[in-house]
């Protein structure tokens, strides 16, 4: 299932013209609502996850969340995405933890480099690598 994520500001100011004819999932209560309406008006299937009352349309479905504190809203939005991913995974018969493409290298990235610079030593442990404090 190809997917990409973008923060609202980037979507509004640069990536809209490349919005393909696929499902767009938009989370938020602010200008995300207008973004979802704009995508739907252009004929793009859009799911808006919001706590606001928004009228659904031909290409706009709304999953309404309860009003909640910002931290709880993040969790609620994540649950919606996980349920959707689980349903799509089951529909396509792709186990959630499987990969379509094998990678022959490991990339730990920026956090790994920061930890190493702070003196955290990485060592092999049962086939996996993990941090440990220097002796």
pLDDT digits (tens, 9 = 90+) for 84-122: 888 988 898 878 776 666 666 565 566 666 676 777 665
Predicted TM-score (pTM) of this structure:
0.64
d(CA 6, CA 15): 9
Q: Residue 7: name the closest of 34, 26, 29 by CA.
A: 26
Q: Which two tokens stand for residue 11?
A: 């979507």
Q: Burial, 84: exposed, middle or buried (Cβ in 10 Å; 0-12, 13-18, 19+)?
A: middle
Q: What angle do CA 8, 111, 27 make, to 5 degrees?
A: 20
pLDDT digits (tens, 9 = 90+) for 3-32: 667 766 665 555 666 677 788 899 999 989
């Amino acid at each position: 299932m190809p997917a990409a994520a973008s923060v609202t500001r980037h979507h509004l100011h640069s990536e809209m013209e490349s919005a393909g004819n696929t499902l767009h999932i938009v989370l938020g209560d602010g200008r995300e609502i207008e973004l979802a309406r704009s995508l739907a008006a252009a004929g793009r299937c859009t799911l808006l996850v919001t706590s606001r009352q928004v009228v659904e349309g031909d290409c706009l479905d709304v999953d309404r969340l309860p009003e909640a504190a910002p931290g709880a809203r993040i969790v609620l939005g994540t649950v919606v995405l996980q349920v959707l991913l689980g349903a799509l995974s089951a529909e396509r018969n792709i186990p959630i933890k499987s990969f379509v493409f094998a990678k022959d290298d490991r990339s730990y990235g920026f956090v790994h480099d920061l930890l190493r610079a702070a003196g955290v030593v990485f060592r092999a442990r049962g086939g996996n690598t993990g941090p440990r404090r220097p002796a």
